Structure 1
Amino acid sequence: MEFRRLGRSGLTISAIAYGNWLTHGSQVEEDAALACVSAALDAGITTFDTADVYAGTKAESVLGRALAGRRRSSYELFTKVYWPTGRGRNDRGLGRKHIIESCHASLERLQTDYVDLYQAHRYDTTVPLEETMTAFADLVRAGKALYIGVSEWNAEQIAAGAALARELDIQLISNQPQYSMLWRVIEAEVVPTSEKEGISQIVWSPLAQGILTGKYRPGEQPPADSRAGHAEAGQSMRGFLTEEILGRVQQLRPIADDLGLSMAQLAIAWVLQNQNVAAAIIGASRPEQVHDNVKAAGVRLDPAVLERIDAALGDVVERDPTKTARG
């Protein structure tokens, strides 16, 4: 496993992180989920990412049980707050009440006294940023969270959040955006701003919801046991399931073959070439998927390979920075 520092901080994380969106508590039975977490630990993954909203709070509980009994200092635990977790008017967003209450609930479900990183799952335009950041600062000072991060904030929002964090004397060290060979909307604005502010990317969906594994082929129905074949999970990837994109992705296969990599390994290795990326989050429904994906850690792709990838994908790559948080 390769390890990287997160932002301009002293926190070291595994370059491959394990996430449980769309799996634990929903798609995957608990025994399989526990086996995947065990496989991740065995493979050298020390960084685990979840959120209060995943599977209606069940994902945090499953992860808490999976990590129970492990030495707390041996892994890094990340969660998030923003999306609704109840029917109450204050059970959502980044107001002080929801942030504080959600943090305490997450800690209980995760069976821990603190999280290493507490992340704003989106930007809340309805709440003053000062209120949000002050609530986060109070959690840091109370020892409930060691560091603060955000997810899918645009460059302007990241800069404003970083400025307030400095005023409050806390560390805002990460952003969690969607990023893959097919979805590069962070490159033009978010990455340069993050580099300036000392913030790293922890990227989700490096496989573009599984599209970059090559298992979805043009002209064919998605496999019944795949994410695209799952009614709820498949909704998040419909934008990638076009004949043109699927055809272009198949052109990556000979590139992966020449390097002795699976297509999934090639896709994960590609996002890790970006020096502002600290980790790529993988999900899994089977332990063997974990073992396959971690082999991407430490792989170096030379400029000629990166050019071949760009040529293969052509104009199906999305680069529009205004599409941040829309994926």
Structure 2
Amino acid sequence: MKYRYLGNSGVKVSAVTYGNWLTHGSQVENDAAIACVHAALDAGISTFDTADVYANTVAEEVLGTALDGQRRESLEICTKVFGPTGPKGHNDVGLSRKHILESINGSLRRLKTDYVDLYQAHRYDVETPIEETMQAFADIVRQGKVLYIGVSEWTADQIREGHELAQELGVQLISNQPQYSLLWRVIDAEVVPTSAELGISQIVWSPLAQGVLTGKYEPGAAPPEGSRATDSKGGADMIARWMKDDILEGVQRLRPIADDLGISMGQLALAWVLKNDNVASAIIGASRPEQVGENAAAVDVELDDEAMGRIEQAVGGLAERDAALTAKSSPAQREA
């Protein structure tokens, strides 16, 4: 495993992060989920990402159990706040001071830890003044419950405003967690340049485009049994945008590139993401332990200019690049 500094800070994270968004507490049984976490540890992964909204807090519980007994100082545990949790009442959502202070306590209890290394605003809250949000974050940092703060799917302007307030409050906003892959490049035009200027890194999610970039889905063919595209608990809905023949055909054009390099298609996709200097870590998920080790090996893949050119020729024209889509990822109003 390789480790990279997170933003303009002294803390390092593993270049591959293990995340449990669509798996723990929902699609994968607890024993299998715990086995995947242990496989991540065996692969040298030290950074683990979750959120209180995942499986309505159950994912945090599973991760806490899986990491129980590990040396806490050797881990970077990251979680997030925003989405509706619990009974999903009128204050069980958003980035208000009330919700943040109550949510961090619940997350710490479920994760079985006294602090989290990185606490992230899961989306931008249009209904709460950003000053209130950042003050609440600063307070829990000073209470020792959080070491660093981050955001997820914020626009360049929102990141800049949040960073300025964090500086005024004497805390470190060091990361953004956006979607990023060969097929989804909406952060390249605005978010990445702004983040690089401010000393903020990306911890990217869905670098394999929900598994599509592994090449397991072929145009005109039914999805493999047991794959995410056949999952009725939410996986099929999330992957639907990529299940189009032109995209699947483009992905298959990546296969000979990966073969020439002697790597899997998943490793190719992860290596492409990690080549971006502003990306500190790429989040992977897994339903089987063996998937973890294979994907973690992507940190040793070096893509030269020729390979990058071939990749661009294969799928570059299919990639979504509209920077405006970042703003659309945050709801126009709270769900509750």
TM-score scaled by length of structure 1: 0.99
- The structure 2 residue matched to 1:241, chosen from 243, 248, 252, is 243
CA–CA separation in structure 1 for the residues paired with 2:88 and 2:298: 41
CA–CA separation in structure 2 for the residues paired with 1:29 and 1:203: 25
Q: How does 1:181-192 map to 2 (within 5 A)?
A: 181-192=182-193
CA–CA separation in structure 1 for the residues paired with 2:304 and 2:286: 28
> Which residue of 2 is the match for residue 156 of structure 1?
157
Q: Residues 153 and 325 of structure 1 are in contact (CA less than 8 Å); yes or no, is this contact kept in structure 2?
A: yes
CA–CA separation in structure 2 for the residues paired with 1:22 and 1:112: 23
Deviation at 1:33, TM superposition (A): 0.5
> Which residue of 1 is the match for residue 16 of structure 2?
16
CA–CA separation in structure 2 for the residues paired with 1:147 and 1:220: 45
- Please give the per-residue CA displacement for 1:202-227, whole angstroms capped at 9, x wherever unaligned: 00000000000000000011112001
Higher mean C-alpha deviation, range 297-306 or range 274-283: 297-306
> Which residue of 2 is the match for residue 274 of structure 1?
276
CA–CA separation in structure 1 for the residues paired with 2:153 and 2:23: 21
> Which residue of 2 is the match for residue 209 of structure 1?
210
| Displaced runs of 4 or more, over 6 A | none
Q: Residue 75 of structure 1 aligns to which amino acid in structure 2?
A: L
- Please give the per-residue CA displacement for 1:253-291, whole angstroms capped at 9, x wherever unaligned: 000000011000000000000000000000000000001
Q: How does 1:1-327 map to 2 (within 5 A)?
A: 1-85=1-85, 86-231=87-232, 232-324=234-326, 326=328
> Which residue of 1 is the match for residue 334 of structure 2?
none
Of all paired residues, the percent bearing the same amino acid is 66
Q: Residues 14 and 47 of structure 1 are in contact (CA less than 8 Å); yes or no, is this contact kept in structure 2?
A: yes
Higher mean C-alpha deviation, range 265-274 or range 231-240: 231-240
Higher mean C-alpha deviation, range 232-241 or range 254-263: 232-241
- Please give the per-residue CA displacement for 1:227-275, whole angstroms capped at 9, x wherever unaligned: 1110121111111110100000000000000001100000000000000
Deviation at 1:326, TM superposition (A): 4.9
Q: Residue 261 of structure 2 aligns to which amino acid in structure 1?
A: L
Deviation at 1:314, TM superposition (A): 3.9
RMSD: 0.8
Q: Residue 6 of structure 2 aligns to which amino acid in structure 1?
A: L
CA–CA separation in structure 1 for the residues paired with 2:289 and 2:100: 33
Q: Residue 256 of structure 2 aligns to which amino acid in structure 1?
A: P
Q: Residue 61 of structure 1 aligns to which amino acid in structure 2?
A: E
CA–CA separation in structure 1 for the residues paired with 2:25 and 2:224: 22
Matched pairs, number: 327
Deviation at 1:325, TM superposition (A): 5.6
SS in 2 for 1:112: coil
Deviation at 1:147, TM superposition (A): 0.1
Q: Residue 174 of structure 2 aligns to which amino acid in structure 1?
A: I
CA–CA separation in structure 1 for the residues paired with 2:192 and 2:316: 22
CA–CA separation in structure 1 for the residues paired with 2:197 and 2:285: 30
